[in-house]
Amino acid sequence: MRGELNCVTAGRTFEPDHKEVTMKKPMTKIAALTIPLTIVCGLLVPAVSSAAENENGRACSNRSLSGRFGGISTGVLLNVPGLPPEAQFRTVGATTFDGQGTFTGVEHTIVNGMPPTAPWTSNSGTYSINADCTGTMVLNTPGNPVPLTLGLVIVRDGKEIRTVLDSNAISGIAIKID
């Protein structure tokens, strides 16, 4: 051993001979999966907008929700008197948000497969948008004895909203009409 220290790595003994050595190791299966996954995640993270800002970097407000939107909501009405315990619900409509916290619209709603008595029903209500682009809506329709409260989130820089009805299993999507 000529009085020098030996280096033992992975079962091999290397004696210092003052030469540069390049070691090549085969890529393991874990590394083969981890590296591409890390690259993909690294590319996706900047594409996701902050929850506290819209895509333009501004905080949301009632002004973030303005204009005419077309939407659909689907789901199940739960334990509504006069209907089966789980009645299917489908609606399509157009809503105009004024950017100041009120809206008006029309809807065509099918409950448990039954068509509406009138083809389109008017609705109206109020909304409040938080700085993080979440908010609430209170919807009033002539056929419903109580206002409906919905949670919402504004996405795609105010071009789309997603909603869920607080009291039933109903969710919706509305897209800004250009």
List phi, psi (to 5°) of 118: -115, 145
Specify the pLDDT at position 55.
Answer: 56
Domain count, the chain: 2
Catalogue the E-assigned strands of the chain. 7-9, 12-14, 66-78, 86-98, 102-111, 121-129, 134-140, 148-155, 160-165, 169-176
pLDDT of 40-87, one tens digit each? Answer: 334 333 333 334 445 567 799 999 999 999 999 999 999 988 899 999
Cα 55 to Cα 155: distance, rounded to the nearest angstrom: 8
Longest dimension (CA), the chain: 101
Kindly state whether residue 39 falls inside one of the protein's structural domains: yes
Kindly state whether residue 26 falls inside one of the protein's structural domains: yes
Containing domain of residue 27, as a range? 7-47
Higher-pLDDT residue of 56, 8 = 56
pLDDT of 112-169, one tens digit each? Answer: 999 899 999 999 999 999 999 999 999 999 878 889 999 999 999 999 999 999 989 9
Does one domain contain both 68 and 139? yes
Cα 48 to Cα 55: distance, rounded to the nearest angstrom: 9
Residues whose CB falls within 8 Å of the CB of residue 121, separated by 6 or more in sequence, listed in order: 106, 107, 108, 109, 141, 142, 143
Specify the pLDDT at position 26.
Answer: 44
Does one domain contain both 96 and 162? yes
Specify the pLDDT at position 84.
Answer: 93
Cα 13 to Cα 53: distance, rounded to the nearest angstrom: 58
Does one domain contain both 91 and 66? yes
